[in-house]
């Protein structure tokens, strides 16, 4: 039953616990997580099933470069049963994971990824055959496709800790409608919808990247003080930094902004995500909107109907606490990894897959395409540039080997664009002319 993703609700209980913990090399960078407790809690929970050695993958890449980082991992990997990586960047060689398994044939590789609707079609899909488990934090579609390609997969949803977002009792609801986040690189849609809401007289309050920084603690307080939280779920990316395959149909992300307010018992209006009923029952546990007109209508309805709004907010909170809070989701993932190792070593393990009542996204629906090399090449051009400006010329030369896959056209174009933009900005100040460079 490998053509369906694993069930994100079932705990996939381990049939046979190992006599001693399996050894895991965990390549992630705790300081890069959006939420303070996300990776620290993940490491704590994984340590119940595994003997963990941490490897700060971002620090290694930025300080030593791709080639030296890969060599370091190659030198270590014989001592481990599992290599788990959380990077979400098209950074490592396309043959890196094959080499790991050549060095250690019994190795289990777990690939954890965020921003999957962006990274998967530009990089990860090409590697899926090298993984034993593919885990997406935010894309139902990517896990569906990975499963159909023969790789065990699961979509956890954004793993949010109650230590970061939580309900504050007896908090007065002072904001009718709230949005937090950025407007940049969203195709203009977020800003257009927010402007439309204001034109319609919707009392919306905005915080976050594009509206001024607030601390995590202050953000949690403001969410608790809000009646309605809007979650825009389009995959945000800089359009001049990625060259998507022509036939690829980009989907919605399961944003943290769905789960964070739910943990605060705040009602969420979520931009419609296909197959989201796998997580929440529509209109009973989560309410979605199709467009700006539908959004205005539902805002007005739920501002007038307090009891209905609070009923749904409570239902989604109970569902999340029971199944989707970070500790629960990481425990499921941890169990699955142990079961995969056990099965590889001859034990009988039963896996629980997504219920047949849920439709999966077919590969053909996402678009028939081949992954290009450009995302990998252009990311490594950034590393090379970083090495050069830090006078690490040996690392720069080593990482230039990525250019055998192609010329970093996007990187070069962006550097020229920003160079010309900088000159134009200075001329603008001198000549006092309007800025029109696009």
What does each of the 438 residues of the chain score in pLDDT, given as a tens digit?
A: 468 999 999 999 999 888 899 999 999 987 666 667 777 888 999 999 999 999 999 999 999 999 999 999 999 999 999 999 999 999 999 999 999 999 999 999 999 999 999 999 999 999 999 999 999 999 999 999 999 999 999 999 988 999 999 999 999 999 999 999 888 665 558 888 999 999 999 999 998 888 888 888 999 999 999 999 999 998 877 777 778 888 888 899 999 999 999 999 999 999 999 999 999 999 999 999 999 999 999 999 999 999 999 999 999 999 999 999 999 999 999 999 999 999 999 999 999 999 999 999 999 999 878 899 999 999 999 999 999 999 999 999 999 999 999 999 999 988 887 777 777 677 767 776 554 444
**If DSSP codes are grouped into helix, strand and coil, which group holds residue 334?**
helix
pTM of the entire predicted model:
0.93
* Number of CB atoms found within 10 A of residue 299's CB: 22
**Closest-CA residue to 228 (of 176, 293, 300):** 176
Write out the DSSP string of 325-351: SHHHHHHHHHHHHHHHHHHHTT----P
H or E stretch at 106:
none
Q: 392-396 long-range contacts, Cβ below 8 Å, gap at least 24? A: 392/65, 395/64, 395/65, 395/67, 395/68, 396/65
Cα distance between residue 371 and residue 248, in whole Å: 10
Q: Does domain 22-158+326-344 have CATH number 3.30.1330.10?
A: no
118 in the Ramachandran plot: left (φ > 0), alpha (ψ -120 to 50) or beta? alpha
Cα distance between residue 365 and residue 160, in whole Å: 30
Structure tokens at 41: 């809690």
Q: Would the CATH topology of 22-158+326-344 be identical to that of 175-324?
A: yes
Cα distance between residue 81 and residue 356, in whole Å: 32
CATH of 175-324, one of 3.40.50.2000, 2.60.40.10, 3.30.450.40, 3.30.470.20: 3.40.50.2000
Cα distance between residue 394 and residue 33, in whole Å: 30
Domain boundaries of the chain, sorted by first residue: 22-158+326-344, 175-324, 374-431
Write out the DSSP string of 261-282: HHHTT-EEEEE--TTGGGTS-B
Triad 58, 59, 62: Cα angle to 5°: 85
Query: Which residues are 53's β-sheet partners?
Result: 25
* Number of CB atoms found within 10 A of residue 261's CB: 29
Residue with tokens 């977020």: 190
């Amino acid at each position: 039953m490998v053509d369906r993703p694993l069930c994100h609700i079932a705990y996939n209980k381990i049939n046979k616990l190992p006599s001693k913990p399996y050894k895991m090399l965990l390549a992630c960078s705790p300081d890069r997580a959006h939420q303070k407790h996300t990776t620290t809690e993940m490491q704590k929970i994984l340590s119940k099933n595994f003997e963990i050695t941490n490897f700060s993958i971002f620090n290694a890449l930025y300080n030593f470069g791709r080639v030296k980082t890969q060599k370091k991992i190659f030198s270590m990997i014989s001592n481990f049963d599992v290599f788990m990586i959380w990077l979400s960047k098209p950074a490592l060689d396309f043959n890196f994971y094959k080499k790991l398994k050549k060095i250690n044939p019994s190795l289990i590789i777990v690939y954890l990824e965020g921003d999957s609707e962006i990274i998967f079609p530009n990089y990860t899909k090409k590697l899926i055959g090298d993984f034993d488990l593919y885990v997406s934090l935010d894309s139902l579609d990517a896990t569906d496709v990975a499963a159909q390609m023969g790789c065990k997969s699961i979509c956890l949803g954004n793993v949010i800790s109650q230590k970061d977002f939580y309900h504050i009792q007896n908090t007065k609801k002072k904001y009718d409608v709230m949005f937090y986040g950025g407007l940049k690189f969203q195709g203009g849609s977020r800003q257009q919808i927010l402007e439309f809401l204001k034109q319609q007289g919707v009392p919306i309050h905005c915080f976050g990247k594009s509206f001024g920084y607030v601390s995590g603690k202050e953000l949690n307080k403001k969410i608790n003080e809000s009646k309605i939280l809007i979650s825009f779920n389009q995959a945000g990316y800089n359009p001049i930094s990625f060259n998507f395959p022509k036939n690829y149909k980009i989907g919605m992300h399961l944003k943290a902004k769905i789960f964070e307010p739910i943990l605060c018992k705040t009602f969420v209006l979520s931009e419609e995500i296909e197959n989201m009923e796998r997580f929440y029952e529509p209109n009973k546990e989560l309410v979605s909107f199709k467009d700006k007109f539908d959004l205005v209508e539902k805002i007005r309805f739920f501002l007038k109907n307090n009891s209905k709004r609070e009923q749904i907010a409570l239902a989604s909170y109970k569902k999340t606490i029971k199944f989707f809070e970070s500790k629960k989701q990481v425990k499921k993932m941890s169990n699955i990894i142990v079961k995969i190792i056990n099965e590889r070593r001859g034990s009988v393990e039963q896996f629980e897959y997504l219920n047949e009542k849920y439709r999966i996204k077919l590969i053909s629906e996402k678009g028939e395409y081949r992954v290009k090399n450009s995302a990998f090449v252009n990311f490594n051009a950034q590393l090379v540039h970083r090495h050069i400006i830090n006078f690490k010329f040996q690392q720069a030369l080593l990482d230039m080997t990525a250019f055998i896959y192609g010329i970093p056209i996007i990187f070069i174009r962006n550097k020229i664009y920003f160079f010309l933009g900088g000159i134009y900005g200075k001329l603008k100040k001198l000549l006092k002319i309007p800025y029109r460079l696009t």
